[in-house]
């Protein structure tokens, strides 16, 4: 019985060492709203916080941050960008792994030039509905 207890204690100690998060750098120059996603948890980023392998760093439209990797590589995220922290990658691969978050809304991108088309389409739909209703009432 003692052997089993010692084995279980040793196995749990080995697993706890294995499960320790791998820190590969830190966050610097956090501006605006920047979040860190770790599994199903989300937290606001702060300057000096550790970069942990597997975490996802996400900037909002008001956010920016510099990820300073222990390897000497600095990756700066501008507004609406994200990266998943990985180890063992060179600086070029880390920079290439930055991706945009979300997509611009068509109205915001097109400005007011989209509005006349929407109005014309709505008008056409109203005419079609009106003519269908007129046909139904005149035929009854």
- For residue 5, the model assigns a pLDDT of 42
**Higher model confidence: residue 123 or residue 77?**
77
Percent of the chain beyond pLDDT 90?
A: 56
What per-residue confidence (pLDDT) applies to 112?
45
Q: What's the confidence (pLDDT) of residue 23?
A: 95
**What is the structure's pLDDT at 102?**
80
- 8 is written with which tokens? 């279980």
User: What pTM was computed for the model?
Assistant: 0.61
Minimum mean pLDDT among 24-33, 38-47, 100-109: which range? 100-109
d(CA 85, CA 24): 8
pLDDT digits (tens, 9 = 90+) for 45-85: 999 999 999 999 999 999 999 999 999 999 999 999 999 99
68-72, Cβ contacts within 8 angstroms, sequence gap of 24 or more:
68/25, 68/26, 68/27, 68/28, 69/24, 69/25, 69/94, 70/24, 70/25, 71/24, 71/25
Look at residue 139 in the predicted model and tell me its pLDDT.
Answer: 52
pLDDT per residue as tens digits for the range 48-58? 999 999 999 99
Question: Residue 20: its pLDDT value, please?
Answer: 82
């Amino acid at each position: 019985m003692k052997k089993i207890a010692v084995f279980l204690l040793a196995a749990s100690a080995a697993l706890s060492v294995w499960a320790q998060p791998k820190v590969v750098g830190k966050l610097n120059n956090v501006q605006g709203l920047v979040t860190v996603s770790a599994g199903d948890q989300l937290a606001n980023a702060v300057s000096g916080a550790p970069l942990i392998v597997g975490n996802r760093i996400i900037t909002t439209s008001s956010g920016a941050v510099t990820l300073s990797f222990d390897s000497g590589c600095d990756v700066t995220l501008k507004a609406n960008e994200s990266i998943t922290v990985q180890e063992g990658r060179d600086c070029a691969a880390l920079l290439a792994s930055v991706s945009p978050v979300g997509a611009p809304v068509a109205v915001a991108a097109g400005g007011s030039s989209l509005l006349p088309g929407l109005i014309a389409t709505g008008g056409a739909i109203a005419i079609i509905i009106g003519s269908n209703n007129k046909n139904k009432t005149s035929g009854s």
